[in-house]
């Protein structure tokens, strides 16, 4: 009976520290050190796949890739598609839990940005901050090993680059 309130308090503490890390109030590694006894579910310097929310920044570039029907196996027939790829300011490490489809990805330098609607062309070539959930490549439409399902995309000015990459924990 007593474990339930303690578990709830641990979850709340984890949420508060994760939110503080995302907002830049504390560094993510400091948040981990404060709650390293299992309250937060990720080791230092490690991003997690969905449902964890992550924020990364970098320059978005348009890459041309082969699309349907055969994704490069028949280049004369395959459609050429423009794919938004975020070239991350600093490489990140993505760690999988035992329930994730993807494995650990060391030194992720770039990731495909997935949006509900078409990616805004005006943002190509600019520095942006993308907040969303990470997932691993699973189909021919996925052109990088790690992708981010963008929930929010915002331009980043040079003055906003204190830590260029931040991570958040599961909520």
Band the pLDDT of 97: cuts 50, 70, 90.
confident
Cα–Cα distance, 31 to 149 (Å, whole number): 25
DSSP β-bridge partners for residue 21:
none
- Confidence at residue 84, expressed as pLDDT on a 0 to 100 scale: 97
- Confidence at residue 46, expressed as pLDDT on a 0 to 100 scale: 86
* Token pair belonging to 74: 């028949």
Please give the residue that has the higher pLDDT: either 75 or 169.
75
- Confidence at residue 159, expressed as pLDDT on a 0 to 100 scale: 57
Q: List, as one string, the DSSP characters of 88-105.
A: EEEEEEEE--TT-SS--E
What tens digit of pLDDT does each residue of 147-167 get?
Answer: 999 999 999 876 555 444 445
DSSP letter for 72, please. T
What tens digit of pLDDT does each residue of 5-46 get?
Answer: 555 555 555 555 555 555 544 445 444 444 444 334 445 678
* Token pair belonging to 166: 């931040």
- Please say if the pLDDT value at position 103 is more than 90: no
* Token pair belonging to 151: 């929930």
Asked if 62 and 110 count as a contact pair (C-beta separation under 8 A), the reply is no
Domains parsed from the chain with CATH numbers = 45-160 (2.40.50)
Band the pLDDT of 95: cuts 50, 70, 90.
confident
User: Closest Cα to residue 160, out of 23, 35, 31?
Assistant: 23
The answer to which of 7-16, 51-60, 76-85 has the lowest mean pLDDT is: 7-16
The CA distances from residue 141 to 66, 117, 123, in Å, are 9, 15, 21
- Please say if the pLDDT value at position 101 is more than 50: yes
Its pTM stands at 0.66
Asked if 42 and 32 count as a contact pair (C-beta separation under 8 A), the reply is yes
């Amino acid at each position: 009976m007593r474990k339930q309130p303690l578990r709830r308090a641990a979850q709340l503490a984890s949420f508060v520290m994760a939110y503080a890390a995302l907002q830049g109030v504390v560094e993510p590694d400091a948040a981990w050190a404060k709650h390293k006894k299992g309250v937060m579910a990720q080791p230092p310097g490690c991003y997690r796949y969905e449902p964890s929310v992550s924020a990364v920044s970098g320059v978005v570039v348009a890459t041309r890739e082969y699309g349907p029907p055969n994704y490069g196996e028949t280049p004369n027939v395959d459609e050429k598609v423009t794919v938004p790829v975020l070239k991350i300011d600093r490489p990140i490490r993505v760690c999988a839990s035992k329930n994730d489809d993807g494995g650990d990805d060391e030194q992720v330098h770039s990731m495909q940005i997935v949006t509900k609607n078409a990616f805004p062309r005006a943002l190509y070539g600019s520095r942006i901050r993308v907040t969303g959930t990470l997932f691993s490549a699973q189909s021919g439409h996925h052109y990088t090993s790690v992708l981010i399902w963008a929930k929010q995309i915002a331009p980043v000015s040079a003055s906003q680059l204190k830590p260029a990459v931040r991570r958040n924990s599961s909520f």
